[in-house]
Amino acid sequence: MTLSAASIDTASTDAAPVTLALDTATPFLTLALAWPGGVRIWSAEVGRAHAERVAGAVAELFEEAGLPLRAERIVIGTGPGSYTGVRVGASYALGLARVWGAEVVGVPTLEGLVRGPDGVKLSGGVAVSLDARRGNVYGAVYRLEAGGVAEVLHAPEKQSMEDFQSRAVGLPHFHDGAPSGEALLRAGLAHGRTDWALAYL
């Protein structure tokens, strides 16, 4: 389990003073919480135990931040991922949103895989992918600015690893890592969509 503070530009949170981000599409449970006073990030490898862990982890995150359990915006990683894993996060987020009166915005989980070495904000083209079995991957290519996704060069899609590698030749490639709570939060604040749909591996 990891619980840490992070540095992120919180100027864009003015419209939603408290924002919770969560992703359950991979074997990791990834959370992030932003408010005008700071950012907290939580991540743990939970296998298939997302449903059992997410509520307690969210409560812990708010407690560590010294905040009441309530957010004005929720960012959800929309996959691709396992059917059960992706739906756990979406169902939980929609349940919280109904209770809190919060807006829910979605971003592809692949955007959460965009991460440089600790403290390094990458710029330029990057490729990200998740294993889709049988020699396939679910991959995308993005252009980054200061560590955030500025442009989608190739939208997320399922394809053979060989085809994806030829598309991503010469680019940094992030494959099957743990999603970054900070990257997910940054993407949600920058361009999260209210008309999101879930994607499955």
State the pLDDT confidence band at 2, using cuts at 50, 70 and 90: very low
pLDDT digits (tens, 9 = 90+) for 142-154: 999 887 899 999 9
Q: Which pLDDT belongs to residue 121?
A: 74
pLDDT digits (tens, 9 = 90+) for 31-51: 999 999 899 999 999 999 999
What's this model's pTM, rounded to 2 decimal places? Answer: 0.88
Q: Which pLDDT belongs to residue 118?
A: 62
Angstrom distance (rounded) from CA 68 to CA 183: 24
> Quick check: bond before 36 cis, omega within 30?
no
Nearest to 5 by CA among 39, 42, 43, 44: 39
Rounded to 5°, the CA angle 64-70-71 comes to 100
Angstrom distance (rounded) from CA 105 to CA 193: 5
State the pLDDT confidence band at 201, using cuts at 50, 70 and 90: confident
Contacts (Cβ under 8 Å, ≥6 apart) of 144 = 114, 121, 122, 123, 124, 125, 126, 150
Contacts (Cβ under 8 Å, ≥6 apart) of 195 = none
Q: Which pLDDT belongs to residue 26?
A: 94
If DSSP codes are grouped into helix, strand and coil, which group holds residue 135?
Answer: coil
Q: Which pLDDT belongs to residue 5?
A: 43
